[in-house]
Chain A
C-alpha cells in the first residue's frame, strides 16, 4: 500500500537551515508529485509548494518562494524540502503529501509529519 515516511524531528537555531525527507513506497514514484504543507502549533494548514515526481517542475507559495527548495531523487523514491534562514515562527509540523504528477488532482495520502523546532 502507499506509504510516505518522513525524517525525524529537528531542533534548529534561528538562521539555520533544515532539510526534511519524504520516502515513498507502494506506487510508481514518477507517476505522482508531492505537496509540502506545514502546521504551526494549534494552527491550520499552510501550503508551501509542489514538485512533480516526473518532471521536477515546481510551484512555490509566494511566502516561501525565496526560502525553500523542493527536490526529488527518483532513484531513492524520496522527496526533499530544504528551508533556509529559519525563524522562530517556522516552528511547525511539516507534512509531505502525494499530489498529482501535474498540477491537478488531490492530495492523498499524507506523511506522518516532521516536527521542526526553531529556538535559540
Chain B
C-alpha cells in the first residue's frame, strides 16, 4: 500500500508570502496526485488534480508540481481565506483505494 507523507505539519505564512507544501509518496505514483483544501467546519474542496491541473474556479495563486514520488503545492501570495488544512491524495488500483496524506495546516503569521 502506498503511503503519503505531508510536510510540514503546520506552516505559518505572512499574508502575500509564498507557502510551499510537500507530499512524498512511498512508491512512484507518476502524476496521479490530487490536492484538497479543507477550511474549518467545511467539507474538502478539490484544488489540483493530475499533479498540476487546477480545478474549476480555483485561483491561479494555487499551483501544483512534481512527479514520481515528490510533489508540491504552492500558494503564491497567501490570502487570509487560504487558512485551511491541505491534503494530498492518490488513487490506487491495487489494493483499490484512495489514500490521503496526513495534512498540512496553513495559518497566518
A50 to B91, CA, bound (A): 11
Report the minimum CB–CB distance from B7 to chain A (whole Å): 14
Q: How large is the interface on B (under 10, 10 to 19, 20 to 34, 35 or more residues)?
A: 20 to 34
Indicate if B60 sits at the interface (CB-CB under 8 A). Answer: no
A10 to B3, CA, bound (A): 32
Decide if the interface of chain A is mainly helix, strand, loop or mixed.
Answer: loop
Q: B101: nearest residue on chain A (CB-CB)?
A: A44
Task: State how many residues of chain A have any CB contact under 8 Å with chain B.
Answer: 22
Q: Please determine whether B100 and A106 come into contact, CB atoms closer than 8 angstroms.
A: no
Report the minimum CB–CB distance from A76 to chain B (whole Å): 22
Report the minimum CB–CB distance from B100 to chain A (whole Å): 4
Q: Please determine whether A106 and B96 come into contact, CB atoms closer than 8 angstroms.
A: no
Report which of B43, B49, B95, B97 forms a contact with A111, defined as CB distance below 8 A: B43
Indicate if B44 sits at the interface (CB-CB under 8 A). Answer: yes
What residues on A are CB-neighbors of B96 within 8 Å?
A: 50, 59, 103
Known: A37-B98, A61-B97. A110 touches B49 (CB 8 A): no
Q: A103: nearest residue on chain B (CB-CB)?
A: B96
Known: A103-B91, A106-B34. A45 touches B100 (CB 8 A): yes
Most interface-central of B45, B98, B100 (chain A CB within 10 A): B98
What residues on B are CB-neighbors of A95 within 8 Å?
A: 43-44
Indicate if B103 sits at the interface (CB-CB under 8 A). Answer: yes
Q: Which residues of A contact B (CB under 8 A)?
A: 35, 37, 44-47, 50, 59, 61-62, 95, 97, 103-104, 106-113
